[in-house]
A and B are shown apart, each in its own frame.
Chain A
Amino acid sequence: MAKRKDIEADQLLPRGVTGVVKGLLIIMVAVPVLYMALLAFSPNSTVALGGAGLGHLTSVNFVDMWTTAPLLRGLLNSLLMAGVAAVCAVVLGTCAAYPLARLGFRGRRPMLYSLLATQTIPGVTLVLPLFICLAAIQAALSLQLIGSDPVVIICYMTFGLPLATWLLFVYISNIPPELEEAALMDGCTRFGALRRVVVPMVTPVIVVSLVFSFLVGWNDIVFASVLTNGQSETIAVVMQSFSGAQATSSEPLYGQLMAAAFVAALPVVVLYLVFQRYLVSGLGAGGVSGT
C-alpha cells in the first residue's frame, strides 16, 4: 500500500498525458539528430538534391572529411586549448575558492558578486577590448600575439576561471570545516590543509569543474574566431568555415559536413551524459552560463 502511494505521489501528470508528452518530446529531440546521422551516412550528391534516404548508405564521408577540412588540426587545437585552460582554471580556482569559502576578509562579498557578474557578460564585449589591447601591445613590442596558443589559452580562462572558482566556492562552503581544523591543529599549514584535506574531499567537484570549463572552451566560437589564425584555429572555427564554404559551392559537401559535425559533437555529448547527474547541482549553484 505504502509503495503504491509512493508511485502516485511522484506521478505529477495523469499517466496518459505523461506518455503523450514523453513521446512528443522524444520525437522532437530525435528527428533532427537522426536526420543528421542519416545525412552523415549519405552520399553528398543525394544530400544536395534533398533526396537522402535509407536506400543508399555509405560511410565514405567519415573517411573523406579529414582531407576536405583541417578537422584533425581543429580537434587537436580545441583539445589542447580548452584542456589546458580548464586545468589552469580549476587549479587557480581551487586556490581562490578556499579563502573565499573559509576566511572572512574585507572585499569578499564584492569578489563573489564580481564572479557572478562576469558570467552574465556576453563574450563579444570582452573579446573586443582584449583584441584592441593585444593589437596595441603587438605593435609596441613587435610580437605576434594574436594567433599564439598561450594568448588564446589565457583568454579562454575568461569563462572558465570565474565558473570554476564559483563552483568550488559553493562546494567548499558546504563541507564542514572540522576536518581541516583537525589538520591545522596537528600543525598543518593552510596550504597543506587545502592540499591534503580539502582537495581529496572535493575531487568529484574538481572533476565537474574541469568538465564544465573544458566544455565552455570547446563550444566557444567568438574568442576563437577573433584570436586564432590558420594554425591555431579550433574545431568550432574549422566547422564554421567548412559550413560557410558549402554555401557558395556548386557541389556542396553536406554529407561530409554532417559527418564532421557528428565527430565534433560526439565527445562533448558523451561527457554531458556521463556527468549529467552533477549537472543539476552545478546549475543549481548558479554558476553555469552558456555561450
Chain B
Amino acid sequence: MLRMGEMLGRRGSKETAREGSGSGVPPPALETRPARRGRRPWYRREHPLLLMVPTLALLTLIVLVPLAVVILTSFMNITESNIAHWLAAPFTWLKNYASALTGPNVLGVSALQSIWISLAFSLITTAVGTPIAFLAALTVHHRSRGRTAIRSIYLIPYAIPCFVTAILARIIFLNQTGLLDVVLSDLHIASRNTYWLIGPNAFWAMTITDIWASWPLIYLLLLAGLAAIPKEQLEAAIIDGTSTWQRLRYVVIPRLTGVYSLAVLLSTFNHFGNFTLPYVMFGGVPPTSADTLPVNIYFRAFSSFDFGVASATAIITILVLGIPGLIYMRTTRLAENPMKAA
C-alpha cells in the first residue's frame, strides 16, 4: 500500500488510467474535469459531483427555502386564520417590522427590548465565562495525578443537556425552598423569600445558569490552544529566569489570542441563540427580563400566531447576528488557510 502511494507521488497519474474507471483519473484537487473528456458518452463517465446532490437538495429544502420563505412572510400579514393559504395573504411590507420593533409581544416585550436583553445576556455570559475557562485550562495543562478525572469533571456542565440544566436551575432558584434561597438566608445575605424566577432577578438567574453551563466550551478551545504552544518557548523563558506570571503574560497569552477570539465568537453565538434555557427554566413562560430574541420570536409565532411579525423578528435576529457572523467566517477562513496550502 505504502509503496503504491510513494510511486504515485513520483509519477503523474494521468497516463496510467485503466479501463473501466472511465474518468481518466485526474489527480484529485487539481483537475476539474476528466482528462479524456468526450471519449465516452456522458452517461458512461463518472460524475463525482453527483455525490453532493442529496445533501444539496436536502439543505435547499430545509435551510434555503425556509430562509427565502421567512424573508417573504416578514412582509406579509399572516395569522392563524390564513396560514393554510398564506401565499395569498396580503402584503403589508414594513409594517411587521415596525410592530415587531415597537409593539410588545404576548409577554409584553418588543423586539428592540429583546435585542438588548439578548446582547446583555450573551456579552455578560461570555465576559464572565472566559476568565473561568482560561483559569480552568491553565490548571489541567500540565501532567499531574488525576488530570484525566479533573478534565472530565470540568466537562460535565457542558455535557448535561441544556433542558436538564434549565430544570435543575429552576429547582435551585425556587422561591423559599430552592437551594439558593436556603443558603443565602442561612448566611444572612438575603431573605429566604427572594424571587429568582420572576421579575428582574430572572435575568441574573438565567445568566448565572448559562455561565455555569457554557464555560467548558471556551475551556476546551483554550485547552487546544495551550497544547499548540511549543514547549521550547516556555523552557527558554524558564532558563531566562522568568516568573510564572511573566511566562503567562509574555508567552502564553499572546499565543492564545487567535483561538481566544474564535472561542468568544462561538460562545456569543451560542448564548444569543439559546432558546432552551429561558423557555424551560421559567416553566414555559419566561418573565419579561428573560425574553431573549429567540423567545420573542417563538411567542409571537406559536402563542399569538402572528406569523408575519414573528418572521420580521426572525429577520431582525439574523441581521443582528450577521455582524459577528461575518467576523466568524473570516476567522475560520484564516484558520483553515494553512491546511488548504498543505
Contact = CB atoms under 8 A, between A and B. Distances in A.
Interface string A130-170: 11110110110000000000000011011001100100001
A102 B29 contact: yes
Interface string A188-228: 11110010000000000000000000000011111001100
B231 A9 contact: yes
Contacts of B205: none
A283 B244 contact: no
B294 interface: yes
Contact of B159 (A35, A139, A261, A273): A273
Most chain B beta carbons < 10 A, residue from A25, A111, A120, A222: A120
A188 B85 CA distance: 51
Nearest to A88: B58
Contacts, number: 379
Interface string B302-321: 10000100110010011001
A213 B151 CA distance: 23
B29 A124 contact: no
A264 B324 CA distance: 33
A92 B84 contact: no
Contacts of B336: 170, 286
Contacts of B70: 125-126, 128-129, 132
Interface string A1-35: 00001111111111000100110011011101101
A236 B8 contact: no
B240 to A, nearest CB: 12
A220 B294 CA distance: 14
A87 interface: no
B49 A99 contact: yes
Contacts of B25: 181, 184-185
B318 A272 contact: no
Interface stretch (B90-98, B101-109, B174-182): B174-182
Given A120-B325, A284-B221, A12 B247 contact: yes
Contacts of B217: 283, 290
A279 B220 contact: yes
A240 B280 contact: yes
Interface in B46-71: 46, 48-49, 51-52, 54-56, 58-59, 61-63, 65-67, 69-70
Given A99-B49, A179-B1, A221 B168 contact: no
Interface residues of A, number: 124
Interface string B106-132: 000000000000000000000000001
Interface string A250-265: 0000100110010011
A231 interface: no
A268 interface: yes
A130 B314 CA distance: 13
B46 A289 contact: no
B29 A103 contact: yes
B162 interface: yes
A187 B49 contact: no
B214 interface: yes
Consensus secondary structure, chain A interface: helix
Nearest to A247: B283
Contact of A291 (B132, B162, B259, B310): B162
Contacts of A124: 273, 275, 294, 297-298, 314, 317
A289 B231 contact: no
A177 interface: yes
Nearest to B293: A122
Contacts of A221: 162-163, 275-276, 279-280
B54 A33 contact: no
A252 B162 CA distance: 22
Nearest to B183: A31
Given A13-B248, A261-B164, A268-B160, A244 B221 contact: no
9 contacts: A5-B235, A48-B177, A116-B329, A117-B325, A125-B318, A162-B59, A258-B171, A273-B155, A286-B336
Interface of B: 1, 4-9, 13, 16-23, 25, 27-32, 46, 48-49, 51-52, 54-56, 58-59, 61-63, 65-67, 69-70, 73, 78, 83-87, 132, 135-136, 138-143, 150-164, 167-172, 174, 176-179, 181-182, 212, 214, 217, 220-221, 223-224, 226-227, 231, 234-235, 238, 244, 247-248, 252, 259, 262, 266, 269-270, 272-276, 279-280, 283-284, 293-294, 297-298, 301-302, 307, 310-311, 314, 317-318, 321, 324-325, 328-329, 332, 335-336, 339-340
Question: Which 10 residue pairs across A and B have the least CB separation, nearest first?
Answer: A50-B177, A122-B273, A139-B84, A10-B142, A272-B159, A96-B55, A178-B5, A290-B270, A129-B66, A129-B69
